[in-house]
C-alpha cells in the first residue's frame, strides 16, 4: 500500500514539473512557485512552470507561457497568471488581473479553460485565439480573434462568442456582446485618443494665459499655432517631426477647432539606412533628387488623413529610386524641383531626376481598399498592375473585385491657389481632395462617399507641400 501511494505521488510530481515553459520575457517578469511566498526573477532563459506556479509582469513587460500541449499564452504588462492545470488532457489557467492572449491549434478534444474573477471561458473547437483583460473589481473583457469560445458568469449563465465579437463581464453578469473593432478601426481609435489627450494638454497649458488673451492670440498667430481657414475660422495647428527609429521619421500636423473636432495628417517613412540627426536634406529629397540618387531611399510609407469619425490611409512598400527623366515613359518626366536653399523651384529639364517608385501601394477609406497596384522593380509608374482581386500589400483575397476608376485634377478658380483632385469609381463612389492656399498656409479637405457627407480638413504650413512634392 505504501509503495502504491509513493508511485502515485512521484507520478503526479513528474507530471506537474514540466507543465509549462515561460519564454520570450521582456522587462520585469517574476515567478512564484506553488507554496512559496517569494517572487523570483524569471530570467532571460526559458523557465519551467509547475502546476500551482504563478507568473506576473511589471509595467511595460511581457512574457510568453507555452503549456504542455502547445497552447500559447502571451502576457502583457501588469498581469498576474496562475497555472492551475497543464497536461495532455487539458489546461486551466487563472488570470487574476492584466491582459493576455490565448492561442491554440489542433486541440482535438483537449480542454483549454481560462478563469477570471467574474467569468470562466472554454475553447470550443480545434483552433481558437482570444484576448482577455481583467480590470479593477474583476471586470473582464473578452475579444475573440479566431474560432469559438463558451463563457459562463458567476451565476452559471452561459453564452457562445464567435470570431469578431467582444463581451464584458462583471459582478452583475454579462453585458450584451458587441462586434469587435477591426485592426484599422482600433489603430485609428488609439491614435485619435492619443491626439485628443495631447490636444487637451495643450489647451490646459493655455488656460492661465486667458488674463492676457489678446496678446497671446497675436503671439500664437505669429508663431503659426493659430491659423485661419478658408471660411475665416480660427484653427489651432501644431506640426511635429518625430524620430520613431534610427531609419524612420514621422511628420504630424494636428488641428483643433474651437467649436469642437480634431483632425490630423500623419506621414511615416521608413528608409534603407540610418538617417542623420539633421533631417532637412532627407525631408527635401522626398520630392526628387537631381543628377544622382538621394543618399537615403524611402522603402515604405504610410500617410493618414484622419478625424474622430473617418480616415483615408495611403500605404506604399517596395520603394526604390528611378531616374524618371531617363526611363521609357516620357509622361513622367520632371521639369522642376523645389530648392530649399533658395526657397524656389529650379529647372531640372534634361537632367537626371531620381524619385521613389513603390512596387506595392494601397489606398483605404475607413479601412476599405479603394485602389492599389503591384509590380516588380518598377522603372515607370505606367508599368504597375492595378489591383483587382487581392490586397496589394497583404495579398489577401478581396470579397469582390475592385471597381475601375478615373482620376482628374482641375483648378476651379482658374488659378493655382485652389486644386481639386477627384477619383470617380464604377460602383458610384468617389474620393475628393481639395487643396487651397489660405492666408497662413495650405488647407486640404478630404471627402469620400464612405464618409457619409463628412470631411477631413487639415491646415499646415506651405513649405510642407513644396519640400515633399505634396507628400504621397
Query: pLDDT tens across 148-167, in order?
Result: 999 998 878 888 988 888 88
| Together in a domain, 250 and 298 | yes
CB atoms within 10 A of CB 34: 13
Where residue 183 falls among pLDDT bands split at 50, 70, 90? low
Give the model confidence (pLDDT) of 255-312 as tens digits. 887 666 788 888 889 999 999 888 878 877 888 899 999 999 999 999 999 988 899 9
- DSSP strand pairing (90-104 vs 111-116): parallel
| Together in a domain, 152 and 239 | no
Query: Which of 180, 199, 225 marks a domain boundary?
Result: 180
Cα–Cα distance for residue pair 20/55, rounded to 1 Å = 11
In this predicted structure, what is the pLDDT of residue 352? 93
Query: Which of 163, 180, 197 marks a domain boundary?
Result: 180
Q: Please name which of 410, 461, 457, 67 lies closest in space to residue 264, comparing C-alpha atoms.
A: 457
The CATH number linked to 74 is 2.60.120.1440
| Together in a domain, 405 and 391 | yes
- DSSP strand pairing (165-170 vs 173-174): antiparallel
| Together in a domain, 168 and 215 | no
Cα–Cα distance for residue pair 301/64, rounded to 1 Å = 31
Give the model confidence (pLDDT) of 297-344 as tens digits. 999 999 999 988 899 999 999 999 999 999 888 888 888 887 766 666
Q: Is it the case that residue 17 has pLDDT exceeding 60?
A: no
| Together in a domain, 83 and 12 | yes
Cα–Cα distance for residue pair 130/169, rounded to 1 Å = 15
| Together in a domain, 260 and 365 | yes
Handedness of CA 276, 277, 281, 287 (dihedral sign): positive
Where residue 175 falls among pLDDT bands split at 50, 70, 90? confident
| Together in a domain, 124 and 219 | no
Q: Is it the case that residue 238 has pLDDT exceeding 50?
A: yes
| Together in a domain, 115 and 242 | no
Number of domains in the chain: 2
Phi (first) and psi of residue 56, to 5 degrees: -135, 150
In this predicted structure, what is the pLDDT of residue 359? 96
In this predicted structure, what is the pLDDT of residue 245? 84
Q: Which residue has the higher pLDDT, 120 or 284?
A: 120
| Together in a domain, 109 and 190 | no
In this predicted structure, what is the pLDDT of residue 170? 83
Q: Is it the case that residue 14 has pLDDT exceeding 60?
A: no
| Together in a domain, 352 and 413 | yes
Its domain, for residue 215, covers 185-468
If you average pLDDT over residues 161-179, what whole number do you get?
81
Beta strands in 272-327 (DSSP E): 289-290, 298-307, 311-323
In this predicted structure, what is the pLDDT of residue 375? 94
Beta strands in 262-379 (DSSP E): 262-271, 289-290, 298-307, 311-323, 336-339, 344-347, 353-365, 368-374
What pTM, to 2 d.p., does this model score?
Answer: 0.54
Give the model confidence (pLDDT) of 369-393 as tens digits. 999 999 999 999 999 999 999 999 9
Cα–Cα distance for residue pair 164/376, rounded to 1 Å = 35
Q: Is it the case that residue 115 has pLDDT exceeding 90?
A: yes
Q: Please name which of 23, 11, 24, 146 lies closest in space to residue 87, comparing C-alpha atoms.
A: 11
Cα–Cα distance for residue pair 366/359, rounded to 1 Å = 23
Report the range of poorest mean pLDDT among 28-32, 206-210, 361-365.
206-210
Provide the phi-psi class of 366: left if phi over 0, else alpha when psi is between -120 and 50, else beta: left
Q: What percent of the chain has pLDDT over 90?
A: 32
Where residue 181 falls among pLDDT bands split at 50, 70, 90? low
| Together in a domain, 140 and 258 | no
What contacts 379, CB < 8 A, 6 or more positions away?
A: 322, 327, 328, 357
Give the model confidence (pLDDT) of 397-454 as tens digits. 999 999 999 988 887 766 667 888 999 999 999 999 988 877 767 788 999 998 999 9
Give burial (CB, 10 Å; 0-12/13-18/19+) of 317: middle
Coil, helix or strand for 91? strand
Cα–Cα distance for residue pair 123/128, rounded to 1 Å = 7
| Together in a domain, 37 and 105 | yes
**Where do we find the cell 477627384?**
422
Query: Which of 158, 180, 202 marks a domain boundary?
Result: 180
Q: Is it the case that residue 99 has pLDDT exceeding 50?
A: yes
Cα–Cα distance for residue pair 238/199, rounded to 1 Å = 9
Contact 361, 316 (CB under 8 A): yes
If you average pLDDT over residues 84-97, what whole number do you get?
87
Where residue 85 falls among pLDDT bands split at 50, 70, 90? confident
Report the range of poorest mean pLDDT among 80-94, 95-109, 192-206, 404-418.
192-206
Mean pLDDT, the chain, whole residue set: 80
In this predicted structure, what is the pLDDT of residue 212? 43
In this predicted structure, what is the pLDDT of residue 222? 42
Contact 51, 86 (CB under 8 A): yes
Amino acid at each position: 500500500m505504501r509503495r502504491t501511494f509513493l508511485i502515485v505521488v512521484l507520478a503526479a510530481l513528474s507530471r506537474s514539473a514540466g507543465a509549462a515553459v515561460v519564454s520570450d520575457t521582456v522587462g520585469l517578469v517574476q515567478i512564484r512557485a506553488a507554496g512559496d511566498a517569494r517572487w523570483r526573477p524569471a530570467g532571460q532563459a526559458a523557465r519551467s512552470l509547475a502546476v500551482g506556479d504563478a507568473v506576473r509582469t511589471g509595467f511595460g513587460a511581457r512574457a510568453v507561457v507555452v503549456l504542455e500541449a502547445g497552447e500559447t499564452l502571451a502576457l502583457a504588462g501588469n498581469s498576474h497568471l496562475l497555472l492551475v492545470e497543464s497536461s495532455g488532457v487539458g489546461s486551466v489557467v487563472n488570470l487574476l488581473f492584466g491582459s493576455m492572449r490565448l492561442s491554440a491549434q489542433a486541440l482535438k478534444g483537449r480542454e483549454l479553460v481560462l478563469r477570471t474573477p467574474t467569468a470562466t471561458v472554454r475553447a470550443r473547437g480545434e483552433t481558437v485565439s482570444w484576448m482577455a483583460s481583467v480590470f479593477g473589481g474583476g471586470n473582464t473583457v473578452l475579444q475573440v480573434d479566431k474560432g469559438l469560445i463558451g463563457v459562463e458568469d458567476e451565476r452559471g449563465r452561459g453564452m457562445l462568442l464567435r470570431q469578431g465579437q467582444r463581451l464584458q463581464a462583471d459582478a452583475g453578469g454579462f453585458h450584451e456582446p458587441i462586434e469587435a473593432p477591426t485592426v484599422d478601426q482600433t489603430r485609428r481609435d488609439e491614435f485619435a485618443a492619443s491626439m485628443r489627450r495631447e490636444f487637451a494638454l495643450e489647451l490646459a497649458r493655455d488656460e492661465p494665459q486667458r488674463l492676457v488673451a489678446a496678446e497671446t492670440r497675436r503671439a500664437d498667430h505669429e508663431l503659426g499655432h493659430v491659423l485661419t481657414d478658408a471660411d475665416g475660422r480660427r484653427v489651432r495647428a501644431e506640426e511635429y517631426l518625430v524620430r520613431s527609429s534610427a531609419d524612420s521619421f514621422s511628420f504630424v500636423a494636428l488641428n483643433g477647432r474651437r467649436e469642437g473636432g480634431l483632425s490630423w495628417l500623419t506621414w511615416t517613412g521608413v528608409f534603407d539606412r540610418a538617417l542623420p540627426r539633421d533631417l532637412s536634406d532627407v525631408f527635401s529629397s522626398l520630392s526628387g533628387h537631381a543628377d544622382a540618387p538621394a543618399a537615403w531611399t524611402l522603402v515604405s510609407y504610410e500617410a493618414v488623413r484622419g478625424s474622430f469619425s473617418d480616415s483615408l490611409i495611403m500605404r506604399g512598400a517596395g520603394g526604390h529610386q528611378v531616374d524618371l527623366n531617363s526611363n521609357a515613359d516620357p509622361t513622367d518626366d520632371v521639369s522642376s524641383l523645389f530648392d530649399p536653399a533658395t526657397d524656389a523651384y529650379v529647372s531640372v529639364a534634361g537632367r537626371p531626376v531620381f524619385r521613389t517608385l513603390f512596387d506595392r501601394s494601397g489606398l483605404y477609406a475607413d479601412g476599405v481598399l479603394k485602389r492599389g497596384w503591384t509590380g516588380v522593380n518598377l522603372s515607370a509608374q505606367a508599368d504597375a498592375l492595378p489591383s483587382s482581386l487581392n490586397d496589394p500589400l497583404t495579398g489577401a483575397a478581396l470579397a469582390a473585385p475592385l471597381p475601375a476608376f478615373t482620376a482628374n485634377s482641375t483648378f476651379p478658380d482658374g488659378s493655382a491657389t485652389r486644386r481639386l483632385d477627384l477619383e470617380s469609381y464604377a460602383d458610384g463612389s468617389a474620393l475628393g481632395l481639395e487643396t487651397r492656399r489660405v492666408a497662413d498656409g495650405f488647407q486640404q479637405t478630404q471627402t469620400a462617399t464612405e464618409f457619409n457627407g463628412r470631411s477631413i480638413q487639415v491646415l499646415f504650413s506651405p513649405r510642407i507641400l513644396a519640400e515633399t512634392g505634396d507628400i504621397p
